[in-house]
Amino acid sequence: DTAALQAAVTAMGTTGTNGITGNNGYLPPGEYVISSTINFARFGGMLTGAGVGSSPAGLPCAGNATVIRWNGAAGVPMFKVTDSGHCYFSHLRFEGKDSAQPSYAVEFVAAGTDDSGVNHHAATFDHCYFGQWTYSSQGINKGLLQNGIGFTGTNTNNDLFRISNCMFSSCSTFGIY
């Protein structure tokens, strides 16, 4: 689902303030398997799912959640948010892969040199789940991530974040880095 999800994220953009684009997107219940990083560049918008429980593919306990599941190489992020502002992620579950753990479920990279979009202005995570899940389509207690959410980059203007009602389960390094 990598190409379709990247196309949806790209299509959500409309030109906004200081070149930051964005709109609102909804991912219905399901398991979205990605094999490379989904890029949010100069983005300011909302990505909302249906919930954080088991996906419709989760056995033996199928559910109605929105799950982003990793099936790519180890050491790269699932979502990469670069030079963005006002990003809102809610009601999503990020599930890694034990044998090829992504570096982050969501990595914020502040690489800009000006103040026109360097990962600030109220980025929010609300009702999200990061890491292993009891009943995954990968098996029981699978889905390791190295880190849940990361703040990296050469510009230290990664600030004004709100993380509420989120769970971090068995991230092998940190829940938040």
Q: What's the pTM?
A: 0.90
Q: Peptide bond before 60: cis, by omega within 30 degrees of 0?
A: yes
Q: Which residue has the higher pLDDT, 114 or 40?
A: 40
Whether pLDDT at 16 is above 90: no
Do 22 and 9 contact (CB within 8 A), yes or no? no
Range from 1-15, 35-49, 156-170 that averages highest in pLDDT: 35-49
Taking every pair of Cα atoms in the chain, the longest distance, rounded to a whole number of angstroms, is 50
* pLDDT single digits (tens) 84-107: 778 899 999 999 999 999 999 999
Mean pLDDT across 20-35: 89
Whether pLDDT at 76 is above 90: yes
* pLDDT single digits (tens) 144-177: 999 999 888 766 566 678 899 999 998 999 998 8
pLDDT band at 116 (very low <50, low <70, confident <90, very high): very low
Cα(142)–Cα(96) distance, integer angstroms: 8
Residue 154, classed as helix, strand or coil, is coil
Whether pLDDT at 115 is above 50: no
